[in-house]
Amino acid sequence: MQPDTDQLLSTIQSLITAEMGWQLSFPDHEDGGELEPFIWNAGEQGELTPLNLVRSEGWLQAMAPTAVLDSWLALERSGSVNGVF
Could you give the CA distance from residue 25 to residue 46 in angstroms, rounded to a whole number?
A: 29
Give the chain's mean pLDDT.
Answer: 77
Give the dihedral of Cα atoms 39, 40, 41, 47; nearest 10 deg. Answer: -170
Total domains, the chain: 2
Structure confidence at residue 22 (pLDDT): 58
Same domain, 22 and 50: no
pLDDT at 32: 63
pTM over 0.75: no
Domain hosting 49: range is: 45-79
Q: What are phi and psi of 81, to 5 degrees?
A: -125, 120
Residue 66, domain member (yes or no): yes
In a domain, 65, yes or no: yes
pLDDT tops 80 at residue 25:
no
| Model pLDDT, residue 2 | 75
**pLDDT for 3 beyond 90:** no
Rounded-to-integer distance, Cα 15 and Cα 21, Å: 11
30 within a domain of the structure (yes/no) = yes
DSSP state of 14: H
pLDDT given for residue 81 in this prediction: 63
